[in-house]
Chain A
Amino acid sequence: MSRSKWIQFVLDRMIWFILLLVILFFWLRAGDKFLTGINLINILLHASVLGVLTIGQTICLLSGNFDLSAEGAVSLLTVLAAWLMLPYREMTLAQAGGIGWELSPFIVIPIILVLGTVIGWINGFLITRLRMNNFIVTLAMQLFLRGLAFVISLGAIMPGTPKEFNWLGGGRIGAIPVSVIVTILLFLGFEFFLKYSRFGRELYAVGANRDAARASGFKPALTITKAYMIGGFMAGLASWMLLGRLEVSVPTLGVGMTLETVASAVIGGVALSGGSGSIMGAFSGVLLLSVVDTGLNLMEVDPFWVTGVRGLIILVALLLEVQKARIRVGAVATRSGSSTGTAAKS
């Protein structure tokens, strides 16, 4: 019994052990270059925007739904924020200014956060009330939002966001970037929140078995809508963080991030079928992707290889997940088998 518990313990934290192994590998191969403070902070910085989006994605996945729209929201909200804050300028060399209202960041930040949440609500409404397929709804939403971003920006980049705005993305407290601190706090906060809040319970129940959740007095439609609203809010936050770091809006910001967020969640053990996985698990997935990116970069591996390596990592993670379930079932089967054996004897 204690042995199977021990196996369970290791299986549940498998991904952290792998993360350690990967770090060890890079340390041995890339030497001291890898384990410097600056490099570690780089890894975390790399993980921050992706991490914030992954939290939103994970919450949607836990409810049993994809959110493909978040990267579209990032495109739109970064462009919109720059457009509202920057002074008017004629377009030159595909560079442009804003609409000329020069709104204060303290107005623009709430706007993009609220707008992100509203986008999530629309997703939730379409999926739960109008019973449209979550994959298609959020895919269409992604395209629509990115289209809007192009319309507003005319495809041009808008450089020079104000200092007050850049604090979250570019600011540092001592040597540590604000975005890194915020991301880690968000992961810890959401892990705690999902574990101890009523919403967290509902989320797992609805994702794992929607019918039973309903028959237990939960309202799946409401829970899923809330999950999308959190996803939308996190997209708003990620937009603020990303634009603040780059200080320039590009309408293609966010492209490809959906797949990275889904990959991180899956690597971290979040089930695409819903109801299984954790926020900290997803964090380990984010870290793994980010460590591998940075490590390969440091070893001066051809960047074309990096994408392929990521694909392999995702495959291996999925393989482990499947094996994990099998080992677990096997352990239980032997246990119950032995118990019926004793029952028969007595």
Chain B
Amino acid sequence: MDTSQPVILEMKGISKAFPGVQALENVDLVVYGGEIHGLVGKNGAGKSTLMAILMGIHQMDSGTLEINGHRFTSMTPHEALEAGIAYVPQQVRMMDSLTVAENILAGNLPVNRLGLVDWKATYQEAQERLHKLGLELDVHERVEGLGVVEQTMLAIAKALFSNAKLIILDEPTAALSRVDIDRLFGFVRSLKKMGVAFIYISHHLEEVFEICDRVTVLRNGQLVGTYVVSELDIPKLIRFMVGEDIRDYERSSSKQDDPVLVVKGLTRRGHYEEVNLVVHKGEVVGLSGLAGSGAASLGRALFGLERRGIGEIWVNGKPFTARDPRQALDQGLAYLPQDRYRFGLVGSRPVRENVTYTILHQLLNPAGLISFFKERTLVQRYINDLGVVCPSPEQRVNLLSGGNQQKVVFAKLAATRPSILVLHEPTQGIDVRAKIDIYRIVDELASQGVAILIISSEVRELLGVCDRILVMYNGKITAEFKAGEPVTTPENILLTIEGGNIYEQKQMDPVRS
């Protein structure tokens, strides 16, 4: 590390609490000029909160923040921009239908004597500015016509034109091919030579090793440490990320022998290839993978929300042919979507209605109308069984807490009495207490004989609840871990999720020592 460079950013002792969660506790982060600084940690480790504080979106509860020698005790998003902090998200948002030049010079387009835009000067100036950064783009092109990587590079360039000193790159490579990643990294390295600092957030640890100088690891809102990348390797880094905390939830298996869901050779180009999996009655199977590994689209496809591609699927020994959610439910497959606000719940309607959407046809009286008596009894039973905390079944669902909303989705699915339940990130965005409740419900359903497939990136949670964990990488199932076997450790699972092979890393010792 070149310590002759000035300190661009110094965050010290940052703490931040949200209702019910200590999101950050006493976290430090120092970034030098001309440094590419990795920031890693599992979902919920506090990366986004830390960045939100740096961007002035959230205010820290305590701690100090120094940018370029200026000290801030509180900061607005505007002040953060002024101080030279820029954020480049995974999906860059610009004025898509305008040209590259207009986007670069937006707000101060050169004008001629008549007060009209001087287009010639516009294009020339934009071209020159890009050239200085070593970025060659056609400034006449509309932004929507650029590739994803060009858009990201343009966003970085634009940030620099407005005097950014520190650029936060949030998962910039998630949608990029290898060739594009190389282009982006080349550009970032050349800017680094000019003294620009970067904070690089990624779940792809290999990339962290490829591009970063140092890396800061967060776990459960706490700082694990900041390390020089050349002195680390991937297994070590994973161990730092995972830590040694105890399992969240213990259970006994209720697995029976009859297979409920059988998938054979399912292939959809660009999403997943040759997927084979079996889930038995009463079994809980985890499926984990990075974004884009195909695990998420497999879940949606099973439920009929997306095209499924070719291959065989059997549910309870019968071919599964559902083309839309209704048919999937009728054939015994229910799905809990990742985005419960968009796909899980009708937020403005009451709990009662949300619970019974899937089974209205069972609640009709002889006149073909909904029997409110039957409905109320059923809804009340699910509210009691699942422990949904709500003032009344008539409460609008979007006024409940995240955990209770998720329980309502569970009630809605459980009401269909499914044979196989596919859960996609069932504990996302809910607090610890509710997480345990959710896994208790999963356990309860499994012991009633429901086969359960959990698609989740929360490896530790999966370890607590699953009989088996499958790992998907690049569209293929690459590994299988059975509960209770010595090889089934969070470190090994994370390694395969990252695309590694545990048998090539024999020297890896267990963490528990």
Contact = CB atoms under 8 A, between A and B. Distances in A.
B117 interface: no
B112 to A, nearest CB: 39
B369 interface: yes
B353 A212 contact: no
Contact of A201 (B303, B347, B360): B360
A107 to B, nearest CB: 30
Contacts of A197: 368-370
B412 interface: yes
Nearest to A193: B369
Contact of A204 (B346, B358, B360, B364): B346
Given A209-B346, A213-B357, 13 more contacts: A197-B368, A202-B360, A204-B349, A205-B349, A208-B348, A209-B347, A212-B343, A215-B325, A216-B325, A216-B357, A216-B412, A275-B348, A276-B348
Given A209-B342, A219-B326, A196 B361 contact: no
Interface string B336-362: 010000111111110001001110110
B32 interface: no
B19 interface: yes
Contact of B399 (A202, A205, A332): A332
Contacts of B370: 196-198, 201
Most chain B C-beta atoms within 10 Å of own C-beta, residue among A212, A213, A214, A340: A212
Nearest to B356: A201
A174 interface: no
A165 B368 CA distance: 33
A202 B357 CA distance: 8
A340 B348 contact: no
A208 B346 contact: yes
Given A215-B325, A216-B412, A340-B19, A196 B372 contact: yes
A197 B367 CA distance: 10
Contacts of B329: 217
Interface residues of A, number: 22
Interface string B386-419: 0000000000000100000000000010001000
A211 B343 contact: yes
B324 interface: yes
B305 interface: yes
B10 to A, nearest CB: 32
Nearest to B365: A196
Contact of A198 (B305, B361, B399): B361
A213 B416 CA distance: 15
A215 B353 contact: no
Contacts of B347: 208-209
B335 interface: yes
A33 to B, nearest CB: 43
Interface in B209-235: none
21 contacts: A196-B370, A197-B369, A198-B364, A198-B370, A204-B346, A205-B357, A208-B349, A209-B345, A212-B342, A212-B344, A212-B346, A213-B346, A215-B303, A215-B305, A215-B343, A215-B344, A216-B346, A216-B358, A219-B324, A276-B348, A340-B20
B344 A205 contact: no
A16 interface: no
Contacts of A198: 360-361, 364, 368, 370
A27 interface: no
Interface of A: 196-198, 201-202, 204-205, 208-209, 211-219, 275-276, 332, 340
A76 B412 CA distance: 45
Most chain B C-beta atoms within 10 Å of own C-beta, residue among A196, A201, A216: A216
Contacts of B344: 212, 215
B343 A205 contact: no
Contacts of B353: 201, 204-205
Contacts of B305: 214-215
Given A201-B353, A215-B303, A275 B346 contact: yes
B423 to A, nearest CB: 13
Contacts of A202: 360
Nearest to A215: B343
A217 B370 CA distance: 17
Most chain A C-beta atoms within 10 Å of own C-beta, residue among B335, B337, B369: B369
B207 to A, nearest CB: 33
A98 B357 CA distance: 50
Contacts of B364: 198
Nearest to B348: A208
Interface in B366-386: 368-370, 372
A212 B345 CA distance: 6
Contacts of A217: 325-326, 329, 357-358, 416
Contact of A214 (B325, B361, B416): B325
Nearest to B372: A196
Contacts of B345: 209, 212
B256 to A, nearest CB: 27
A26 to B, nearest CB: 35
A306 to B, nearest CB: 35
Contact of B349 (A214, A275, A332, A340): A275
Most chain A C-beta atoms within 10 Å of own C-beta, residue among B303, B360, B368, B416: B360
B8 to A, nearest CB: 38
Interface in B287-307: 303, 305
Contacts of A196: 369-370, 372
Nearest to B347: A209
Contacts of A208: 346-349
